[in-house]
Structure 1
């Protein structure tokens, strides 16, 4: 095959070692292949970079093996080399011939012939923000699990408060549960209920008329303390995220004009895709990268399953959350969802809305313009909001009286 990159290298990445193969052309129009093994400690990574520079490598290719490739990638890019991280699915070796040496040689051979393409890798600042937003996502899921354990423990003790109020984790439910754990009387506990709770006080007292055992109290106090600890960590982390989002403040504010997008979800989107849409090529490409577009599976003229493929899990999750919030507002996404849910069901319709959202986000960030919903009358909203104030000012300065006299 035709040579595209004259001097290139393939790296098979592992936790404690990397196998590096350099493939380069020599003056006699022959190809020289050199393979060496390096440990993954900092000093050894520097020796690896010196080895690549010594052979004047133009392109370095490695697989995205877990998180082990990140330190290797950082070392290579700081030396001014050109590293590519490729999808392991796109460079799968021939079965039965898989060793560390052959894997690195195969990567170098593919790069030599120009048969691979790089994956999207965020810049170091964006990578730091991504670390914070992904850790926050873990904390949110941990808090949700702990709240479910609290609810399950209450049910196990015979307390059926969760059957009378819509959300036991809401403000009213939390006040009553905390008072119950602290051993307050039933009358005091019931008085902490919000006026919007539909159940009457007798029902609430009956649902909590149960003696908690010492073991249940120990578990409930432990879970409550853990929830408070995780919630405090989440608040501190969100402050750090909002401070770290300042370099992308314009894009962050643009994303918040979309229905269903909050401050944290906008920060998460920035951490995952950045604000430079040129690196994706187009809205179809970014939807495919996120794993939200329908799959292509056709053979002999028959269209088979269009199941979406695996993509960026974090962006898929956050876009589904945004879609779930957007379909509850008066916007085009609500109408789209209502037309799909009858035929497709809730989950598939939600993926379709997420697919539409990622394309809209691409357009917003590329054109640097806020979102304008085609189904919303912005002029009418502005008039309804400001008309009383306008009328008051017209009356204050006498214009309203003059207008009525003229009429």
Structure 2
């Protein structure tokens, strides 16, 4: 009987790990050892001992609960020892019967994994994870730098220096020169206004009026501190950009060595051309898709990489992004068809790219505007992001080059489809539709 149950299991040698901050509970099949549940610490030697024990028990696949960032060291150590690790969502075992405890959690993970009832989360390859870490650090630095710009603006307003009313970008060429002179000790409004660039729409007299304020010592101190933090973060951003270019150049060179050249019809123009390096790495130039700028493509490739073989098809990929309707049906009635909420960074990048198509003369721009006329803008934005995701998937998996059909051709296609639909509807009602010129 026990042999029959073992044969029905999908992964008979599976293990389950309940991850914690200070310790990890591990459960293995009962037939592999006398004590199938053990607790291990969070130190590196403890993780090594865990891997040795799992290998000694004959375990070949491990279900790892994704808890915060505590699972990352466990995942990497077990993967380095040759074990196949499945990162599973803790919500999949949220409603299992029994009281909540670490021992029961790891046992439920092991049992569900052995019967093939868990799904592995997507995790890119190790080299992509390195690029992703640098890209995410860059986003954190940009967000932090923007917050210090807001603090500088606040200090200026508190001194009634209305620089933001005459200059759109405070940290542009003119604004940054004025702020640095203020920190250096300059208080004369006319001297500060001489930094006005010729492209600034406001006149020099308006800038002089905006720079006449109340120079209070405490606000000047805050302005100096904020400017120092801005410069310090800018230095870290330059280091981050250099590291990102270095990693990207390595991936681009490796892709060219294995013959994965972009199918765009153009040769490499420069060794440090970021766009060309991204195209070499991906095997296709994703920036040719309308709405996908260089920053968007960098975010997409740094998050998911170029190998999408983990996804069964394009529908699976779009569903993972949260761009497909999460339809709930009960009793033949559709209860909900909304897309689920998701913090996926690629999803957010694609939705931002879809918003930029509102004034585009491309076929994608016409598609977005047509959807806005049929439904509200959030739903149209999601549908357009779904279309962009499909294009990205096919370009990465098939190496297909993107060709923009143009707005006029797209509108003509829609016109022909509408005419065909009207003819079919008229034929079903026993009528025939003829053009006005033919009738005349």
Q: What TM-score comes out, normalization by structure 1 length?
A: 0.83
1:374 matched to which residue of 2? Answer: 405
**2:243 is the counterpart of 1:240:** yes
Whether the 8 Å CA contact 1:241–1:267 is kept in 2: the answer is: no
CA-to-partner distance for each residue in 1:127-178, whole Å, 9 max, x for gaps?
A: 1111101111101111111112222222222122212333333333333333
2:96 matched to which residue of 1? Answer: 94
Q: How does 1:3-402 map to 2 (within 5 A)?
A: 3-23=9-29, 34-94=36-96, 97-182=99-184, 183-246=186-249, 247-248=251-252, 249=277, 250-252=280-282, 254-341=285-372, 345-375=376-406
Paired with 2:147 and 2:155, the residues of 1 have a C-alpha distance of 12
Whether the 8 Å CA contact 1:238–1:264 is kept in 2: the answer is: no
1:344 Cα deviation (Å)? 5.0
Whether the 8 Å CA contact 1:259–1:325 is kept in 2: the answer is: no
Change over 3 Å in CA distance of 1:341–1:177 after alignment to 2? farther
How many residues in Structure 1 have an aligned counterpart in Structure 2?
374
2:424 matched to which residue of 1? Answer: none
Paired with 1:162 and 1:306, the residues of 2 have a C-alpha distance of 44
Structure 1 gaps, min length 5: 378-407
Structure 2 gaps, min length 5: 253-276, 409-440
SS at match of 2:87: strand
SS at match of 2:26: strand
Paired with 1:338 and 1:123, the residues of 2 have a C-alpha distance of 38
Query: For the aligned residues, what is the CA RMSD?
Result: 2.6
1:213 Cα deviation (Å)? 0.7
Whether the 8 Å CA contact 2:19–2:25 is kept in 1: the answer is: yes
CA-to-partner distance for each residue in 1:20-54, whole Å, 9 max, x for gaps?
A: 1101557xxxx987111111211111111111111
1:95 Cα deviation (Å)? 5.6
1:4 Cα deviation (Å)? 1.6
Report which stretch shifted further, 166-175 or 353-362: 166-175
SS at match of 1:308: coil
CA-to-partner distance for each residue in 1:204-230, whole Å, 9 max, x for gaps?
A: 222221132111111111111111111
SS at match of 1:277: coil
1:326 Cα deviation (Å)? 4.5
Whether the 8 Å CA contact 2:357–2:368 is kept in 1: the answer is: no
Q: What TM-score comes out, normalization by structure 2 length?
A: 0.77
1:304 Cα deviation (Å)? 4.4
CA-to-partner distance for each residue in 1:264-298, whole Å, 9 max, x for gaps?
A: 43232122111012211222212221223332234
1:96 Cα deviation (Å)? 5.2
Change over 3 Å in CA distance of 1:24–1:317 after alignment to 2? same
CA-to-partner distance for each residue in 1:291-343, whole Å, 9 max, x for gaps?
A: 23332234445444444324453223333343344545432332233234456
SS at match of 1:216: helix
CA-to-partner distance for each residue in 1:337-391, whole Å, 9 max, x for gaps?
A: 32344565555443333322222111111111332222279xxxxxxxxxxxxxx
Change over 3 Å in CA distance of 1:51–1:140 after alignment to 2? same
SS at match of 1:285: helix
1:99 Cα deviation (Å)? 0.5
Change over 3 Å in CA distance of 1:354–1:184 after alignment to 2? farther
1:188 Cα deviation (Å)? 2.8
Paired with 2:195 and 2:354, the residues of 1 have a C-alpha distance of 34
Once superposed, which parts of structure 1, at least 4 consecutive aligned residues long, lie more than 6 Å away? none
Paired with 1:241 and 1:266, the residues of 2 have a C-alpha distance of 14
Whether the 8 Å CA contact 1:23–1:33 is kept in 2: the answer is: no
1:384 matched to which residue of 2? Answer: none
